[in-house]
Amino acid sequence: MTPETILIGLAGVLAAAAPVMFAVMGETISERAGIINLSMNGTILLSAMGSFAVALATDSLALGFLAGAAIGALVSLIVAFASITLKISQVATGFILALLCRDLSYFLGNPIMGQTGPRLQSAPIPGLSDIPVLGKLFFSQDVMTYASFTIILLAWVYIYKTRPGLMLQGIGERPAAAFVRGASVNRLRYLYTIIGGALIGLAGPIYSLSVKAGWKGTISGLDGIGWIALSITIFGGWNPLRAAFGAYLFAILQWLGLVLQPVLPGIPSNVLQVAPFPLMILTLLLVNIGNAEWVERTLAGMPENTRRAVAKILRAMRATPPASLGVPFESD
């Protein structure tokens, strides 16, 4: 492998992670508000198919992406209505929607199977794309990949640095306390679930109009992405920067699975393809190790200064979910 191919490979990793990134950011925002949107896997399939159909019919990429976001928003509206207004279990609703949307996408997508439609082209940024190494990596991508970089930062700044972002944390953490501070908890939960849903919906067209252009029904290879995105959200501890790290890690593992295949002929190719999944689980375990009782006990035995330092690191690494995740809110 030459440095050149590695660079191209890594640039590909960044592009391949873009749809997952949108899904993860959308889910993070929704869960921060206290609503688990478990429909993600189906939503992505349905919006991939739907946006491809729209783009095919109108020959407009923009309308295609818009359709993807709209489908995501619509599905999340159902999630929001069921869990906020009807107070039905979010897990049950989300799960049913995940299955329903998936089957719907296969069924409705039959007529457009295998057709070729418009595809998003890469748009190198003049000037910046000529910078050695970085130019190839970051500035020779397509618009949605640039957008995926931006969304990470935007989400992070919004959640941690802005006033409404603090309130967003509040309504997922302790809605009663947020209510006392003037938040219309349920209205905000609707809003963030729908925004999150639209972002999740964008993951679909990024596949079907760019990364894996076209619609190939059950062999599109998109089934399962939503569940991965869900686990990355948890891995990311509901923090956009950590979640982004998780999404890139997963994309890199998948890429390594591909490039290592010819290098390591002894290992069956399926092993390399599946390896990213257990590796993700392992990372998840490592990240959350601070929660384990035996760690706490080992820690208690350490000298005071070491103990404090280690405890601080573990605390920073530890991911605790928003305390009211999945719990409906009723103001007295």
Partner 1 sequence: MQVELRHIHKHFGAVHASNDINLTIPAGSIQGILGENGAGKSTLMKALSGFIFADSGEILLDGKPVHIASPADAINHGVGMLHQDPLDFPPMKVIDNFILGRNGGLFPDRRTAAKEFKELAVQFDFSIDPDAYVDMLTVGERQQLEILRLLWLGARALILDEPTTGISLPQKEKLFATLKKLAAQGMTIIFVSHKLEDVEFLCNRVAVLRQGQLVGEMLPPFNVDKLVEMMFGKVVSFGGRYPLTPGASTLHLEHISLEDVRLQIRDVTLDVRAGEVIGLAGMEGSGQATFLQACAGLVRPVAGKLSIKGADVTGQTHHVFKHKGVAYLPAARLEQGLVPGLSLTEHFVLAEETHGIFINRDQAIRLAQDRIKTFNIKGTPVSTVESLSGGNQQRALLALLRTPLSLILLEHPTRGLDIESTMYIWSKLKERCAQDGAAIIFISADLDEVLQYSDRVLVFFTGKVSSPLDAEKVTVEQLGQLIGGKGWEAIHA
Does 299 engage in binding with partner 1 (CB under 8 A)?
yes
> Is the CB of 72 or the CB of 290 nearer to partner 1?
290
Cα separation, 273 vs 284, whole angstroms: 19
Q: How far is the CB of 329 from partner 1 (least distance, A)?
A: 13
Cα separation, 144 vs 25, whole angstroms: 14
CA angle 66, 246, 210 (to 5 degrees): 30
> Is the CB of 2 or the CB of 305 nearer to partner 1?
305
Q: How far is the CB of 315 from partner 1 (least distance, A)?
A: 8
Binding positions for partner 1, 16-55, rule CB under 8 A = none
Helices (H), the chain: 3-32, 40-58, 61-80, 90-108, 134-138, 143-161, 163-173, 175-180, 185-206, 225-235, 240-263, 269-274, 276-287, 293-300, 304-317
By C-alpha distance, which of 212, 210, 221, 19 is closest to 118? 210
Q: Which of 1, 164, 273, 309 binds partner 1 (CB under 8 A)?
A: 164
Q: Which residue has the tokens 């619509």?
A: 74
> Is the CB of 111 or the CB of 301 nearer to partner 1?
301
Does 319 engage in binding with partner 1 (CB under 8 A)?
no
| Residues written for the chain | 332
Q: How far is the CB of 298 from partner 1 (least distance, A)?
A: 10
Q: How far is the CB of 322 from partner 1 (least distance, A)?
A: 9
Q: Which stretch binds partner 1 (CB under 8 A): 21-29, 115-123, 168-176, 200-208?
A: 168-176
> Is the CB of 150 or the CB of 331 nearer to partner 1?
331
Cα separation, 116 vs 94, whole angstroms: 32
Does 214 engage in binding with partner 1 (CB under 8 A)?
no
Kindly calculate the radius of gyration of the chain based on its CA atoms and give it in whole angstroms: 21
> Is the CB of 132 or the CB of 297 nearer to partner 1?
297
Does 212 engage in binding with partner 1 (CB under 8 A)?
no
> Is the CB of 119 or the CB of 174 nearer to partner 1?
174
Binding mask 171-190 for partner 1 (x = CB under 8 A): --xx-xxxxxxxx-------
DSSP 162: S
Cα separation, 297 vs 98, whole angstroms: 41
Does 166 engage in binding with partner 1 (CB under 8 A)?
yes
Does 300 engage in binding with partner 1 (CB under 8 A)?
yes
Strand, coil or helix: 183: coil
> Is the CB of 85 or the CB of 162 nearer to partner 1?
162
Whole-angstrom CA distances from 124 to 40, 68, 136 are 31, 24, 9
Binding site residues, partner 1, CB under 8 A: 161-164, 166-167, 169-170, 173-174, 176-183, 296-297, 299-301, 311, 320, 323, 332
